[in-house]
Amino acid sequence: MQRWYRELNLLLLLTLPALVLGMFTGYIALCLLVVVTLLLIRQTIYIDHLEKWLSRGAFGDKHPQHGIWRDIYYHIWKIRKIDKKRKKKLTRMIDRFRTSTDALPDAAVVLGSYGEIDWTNKSARDILGLKKSDKGQRIANLVRNPLFIQYLKSNDYQQKISIPSPVNENIILQISIVPYGTGLRLLLAQDITQLKNIERMRTDFVANVSHELRTPLTVLKGYLETLLELENVPSVYLRSFQNMSTQTERMQLLIDDLLLLARLETKSKKSECINISELLKQLCKESDLLEKDECRVNLKLDSPTNLLGDPEELRSAFSNLLANALKYSPADKPVYVKWFKNSENGVCLEIEDFGEGISSNDIPRITERFYRVEVKRNRKINGTGLGLAIVKHVLVRHDARLEIDSQLGKGSRFRCQFPQKRIC
């Protein structure tokens, strides 16, 4: 039988005799009132027991073992038991998570909305020098690298940054931040010292080899020039000398580009206010002179804006783009060079040609070193495959990005988008 039926039965059991007694004595209301009051007192006592039991944390079993109250106590006890099980499971999960994150070689730090430390793993304590007791402290007060503080404040975490470890200057850390939840951030720091060393070794090797090749190449070029100037050279030899001269010329270009790339990777950034209009006018004039066609390059200066940057690097990037536009389009087609303010309050250089274009498969790869698109052309176009790699490097060093739009057989449009902070 349902327990609340029993409660009802008890009520009827007490009410009926009270009713009978009331009818005999003529005090029906009084008898019923006495019964109801007794029942009310009983329930109040049970409620008091329940309150005391709950205030003790629902421990112990000193509670009524009959009626509806037995069920109430049983259900509370059951809920508590399930809750306890769930808590145990959660604690085990947290422990497992802690052990695995502590085993991670990368540092992980959970930051609150004000940059205060909420949680750290073991690596964070090892390579970032944080302590368990630093919980609640702002990380910017503990990792005092200016680049890191600027990155933390920027709220733009698309890029990663590299900084020396606060514990050991020789350790290079790559820092990235992932925002999640409401205002929370996960900071990850990876030790990339070895990667940086290998990268430096590669750059040094390429730079040294290129540098060492320069002198023998200059000697070779000198001898070839002398041989080409000789009179009465048999035509068979003359053709060979001309071929050798073209190839040494190519090699020279390759070495120059490799050295420039190595410089871009190692040189510290230079920043001065550059008159871009003047620079572009000069570049277009030089190109027209080389092309022996004064109308091929059309320059449109829609903005007088100047840029903060390295003049040599920008000159080399812009001239590479212009040279490509001229190289990869027919001699009778114009090339448009435009300098204008873009929609992001920054400034943009656009170089457009109506040449062979680039397929959508090749576009993502053309900025890779030595990548040249295989196209069957009726004339051979010389190149090193390093021009756009140089352009990309220079733009990254100027906080700019390269956008490429192209259609095979129709032409290409290269855009260098500079941010507002580069305007001077």
Residues forming contacts to ligand ADP in the complex (CB under 6 A) are 320, 324-325, 328, 353, 355-358, 366, 371-373, 383-389, 412
- Least gap, CB of 388 to ligand ADP (angstroms): 3
Identity of the residue, 220 or 323, whose beta carbon is nearer to ligand ADP in the bound complex: 323
SS3 string of 14-62? HHHHHHHHHHHHCCHHHHHHHHHHHHHHHHHHHHHHHHHHHHCCCCCCC
Identity of the residue, 46 or 336, whose beta carbon is nearer to ligand ADP in the bound complex: 336
- Least gap, CB of 402 to ligand ADP (angstroms): 11
Token pair 């390269």 is found at 402
- Least gap, CB of 377 to ligand ADP (angstroms): 10
- Least gap, CB of 317 to ligand ADP (angstroms): 11
For the chain, helix, strand, coil in percent to 5 are: 55, 15, 30
Identity of the residue, 321 or 400, whose beta carbon is nearer to ligand ADP in the bound complex: 321
Size of the chain, expressed as the number of residues it contains: 424
Identity of the residue, 191 or 356, whose beta carbon is nearer to ligand ADP in the bound complex: 356
Cα–Cα distance measured from residue 385 to residue 370, given in angstroms and rounded to the nearest whole number: 4
- Least gap, CB of 333 to ligand ADP (angstroms): 11
- Least gap, CB of 256 to ligand ADP (angstroms): 12
Distances in Å between the Cα of 199 and the Cα atoms of 97, 147, 171, 188, 266 are 34, 21, 15, 22, 11
Identity of the residue, 193 or 367, whose beta carbon is nearer to ligand ADP in the bound complex: 367
Name beta bridge partners: 177. 187
- Give the β-pairing of 347-353 and 335-341: antiparallel
Identity of the residue, 223 or 370, whose beta carbon is nearer to ligand ADP in the bound complex: 370
Identity of the residue, 111 or 389, whose beta carbon is nearer to ligand ADP in the bound complex: 389
Cα–Cα distance measured from residue 290 to residue 216, given in angstroms and rounded to the nearest whole number: 28
- CA dihedral in degrees (358, 363, 365, 369; nearest 10)? 60
Residue 135's contacts (CB-CB under 8 Å, 6 or more residues apart) are: 117, 118, 119, 120
- Least gap, CB of 409 to ligand ADP (angstroms): 11
Identity of the residue, 306 or 320, whose beta carbon is nearer to ligand ADP in the bound complex: 320
Identity of the residue, 192 or 206, whose beta carbon is nearer to ligand ADP in the bound complex: 206
Which has the closest alpha carbon to 394: 293, 264, 274? 264
Phi-psi region of 200 (alpha: psi -120 to 50; beta: other; left: phi over 0): alpha
- Least gap, CB of 396 to ligand ADP (angstroms): 15
- Least gap, CB of 347 to ligand ADP (angstroms): 21
Would you list the DSSP string of 233-276? --HHHHHHHHHHHHHHHHHHHHHHHHHHHHHHHHSPP--EEE-H
